[in-house]
Structure 1
Amino acid sequence: MQWHTLHHSPSLPPLYLRAALKRKITGTTLPDSGLRCPVNVNPRDVAAYREVCGFIDSPMLPATYPHILAFGLQLQLLTAKAFPFPLLGLVHLSNRIRILRPLGAVGEVQVGVYAQNLQPHAKGATFDLITTMEDSLGALWEGESRMLCRGVKLAGEQVDQSLPTIDSLNELARWQAPADIGRRYARVSGDYNPIHLSALTARLFGFPQAIAHGLWSKARTLAALDGHLPSANIEIEVDFRKPVRLPSEVILACSPAGSSGEWRLEGAGDIEHMVGRWRPL
């Protein structure tokens, strides 16, 4: 892996313009280099994120917050000329995070992003967007987002990597996903994808209503699972199934608290929005 080190996190507006202008698939090879930069954790930004995602106040950084710290780097990587796929239209299929050490007293960290594991898929091709976070003592957190690019032609057969659905789970919580949550999450995350912002902008991309960010749904679920999971030395994995249309009510069912377990996020009519599991590293 060859790293390109930046002095600070990239500015987002030029990257959104670059994303809007790149509409074609330009190849089938992922770049063999990554991006990294130092980032300072701003307590006010973390507090705003906690409020939007439902996390209680805590000295521990929310488990999903490193995605926010790395978002600018992710955008720069995915909109670079060397990256073969257009950012618009990518589908987030699954997400896995590993909390290697407790996320307390996190100040200045270094985040890194790169892409790997290009694989054929029935609808195109998938790749893994890898995110890392470390401090002066070493690795703190790792993330892996599996992304689908439709229309890519790759040789080989698709390997099913999806999580199983677990039926024997008990309801733990339910909450409303309000109509404005896409806009509120965009303000704390930087992710202004039009499909999340309003019904009007979502319809431009073929969605009848705005849909919630997948990572908001995961964060909101982990906030509801507070005290249910260990805070470190843990892997947390989700598959995104049907999107959460806004507004709507969702129901969280999960297994008992412990070192490992599963959960399911459902909507009206038993729509399965997300399945997940946690297990020790």
Structure 2
Amino acid sequence: MTTHHKIFSATPSLPAMGIGALWPSPGWDAERGFPEFSFIWRDYRISKQAIGALQRIAGRADAAATDRLLLLAPHVTGFRLTLAMLMHPRWPLPIWRALQLRNRLTRSGEIKVAYPSDLIARATAWRVHDKGIELDIHAQLLQGDDCPWESITTFYYRGRFAPQFSRGAAEGAAFASPVVDATLRPVAHWNVEGDRRLRWARLTGDANPLHLLDAYARRTGFAAASAHPQRIAAQCLGHLAPTQAPMRQLDLWLKGPVYYGRDVTLRQAHAADSDDFALWVDGDERPAMVGRLSGAI
């Protein structure tokens, strides 16, 4: 297993990340596993402009919606640090084989906007099974002496790898998502407009042409370009009905693409300690995104 520690004193560069992704990957070796990388982004800040962008895409700027969006904000604006790791020349598998599968975002204190912070990303666990590898990336937001936010993002690499084994504790969102009744009355219905695509690529650092170019997406077998998952999550958080208790954890299960120009329907189920929600692309039987907001820490 190799180790590598990298400190960014400025925003990780998209061109530099792209060059790293083009470098031939070393290939998977079960004895080495994933490298023990520690990537740190010094002076990382959640800007007021980024919060404004989230509010605009969510369609709400009230206190309750903004509080939810603050739970999502580091995942949006700090995602490029995780991508920098997955696109590093020493990473054993190429970025284009990685599929974002699940997210667990946890807030344990006040998240300060425009505050000089450190963002840290590490590969902490992975599981090799018969159809691919699941990888957990742990990110932490450090603001002074506090760590008010952290996340586990689970990626999936399709393929057959041997032997089957696991390393590290699976601390992200559960393997199985909640089931939201498709007959529930919708809480919202809207069209996923295709504007601001480059804006979201800059916010997240994810310049995958599948999110930008319809022609490219069609050539690769998709119906059209699809929205960044973080963008869809922000829209869901903006449309959800109010909840009683403070929500400190957001789990997301990403089940399929949400194409630009399509109509979508959001349904929400209330429980004593959580709210489950699911987003359907109209005409599809299976939801494209499922989420759970809870007070868990």
Fold agreement, TM-score > 0.5:
yes
Structure 1 Cα separation of the partners of residues 210 and 40 of structure 2: 28
Distance 1:142 1:230, change over 3 A: farther
| Letter in structure 2 aligned against 1:223 | G
Secondary structure of 2:157's aligned partner? strand
The answer (yes or no) to whether the contact 2:21–2:88 under 8 Å persists in 1 is no
Q: Do 1:196 and 1:211's aligned partners in 2 also have CA atoms closer than 8 Å?
A: yes
- Distance in 1 (CA, whole Å) between partners of 2:244 and 2:154 is 23
Deviation at 1:178, TM superposition (A): 1.5
Amino acid of the residue matched to residue 18 of structure 1?
G
Structure 1 contact 185–216 (Cα < 8 Å) conserved: yes
Matched residue type, 1:36: I
C-alpha contact 1:27 1:85 (8 A) present in aligned 2: no
Please tell me the residue identity of whatever aligns with 2:186. E
1:242 alignment partner in structure 2: 256
Q: What is the CA-CA distance between 1:246 and the residue it aligns to?
A: 1.9
| Matching residue of 1:96 | 104
Name the counterpart of 2:41: 37
Q: What are structure 1's unaligned runs of at least 5 residues?
A: none
User: Could you list the per-position Cα deviations for residues 211-244 of structure 1 after superposition, in whole angstroms to 9, with x for gaps in the alignment?
Assistant: 1212211121112227437555x22111111211
What is residue 19 of structure 1 aligned with on the other side?
21
Contact 2:180–2:269 (CA under 8 A) maintained in structure 1: no
Structure 1 counterpart of 2:226, from 196, 211, 222: 211
For residues 127 and 87 of structure 1, what CA distance do their matches in structure 2 show?
12
| TM-score, normalised via structure 1 length | 0.87
Q: Report the secondary structure of 1:132's partner residue.
A: strand
Q: Deviations over 1:181-215 (max 9, x none)?
A: 54442243332111111211212433231112122
Matches within 5 A, 1:137-152: 137-152=145-160
Which ranges in structure 2 are unaligned for 5 or more consecutive residues? none
Aligned residues: 280
Q: TM-score, normalised by structure 2?
A: 0.83
Summarize the alignment of residues 69-148 of structure 1 with structure 2, pairs less than 5 Å apart: 69-105=77-113, 107-148=115-156
Q: Secondary structure in 2 aligned to 1:239?
A: strand
What residue number does 2:292 align with?
Answer: 277
2:255 paired with 1:255: no
Residues 210 and 225 in structure 2, CA contact (< 8 A), matched pair in contact too: yes
1:197 aligns with 212
2:236 corresponds to 1:228 = no
RMSD between aligned residues: 2.8
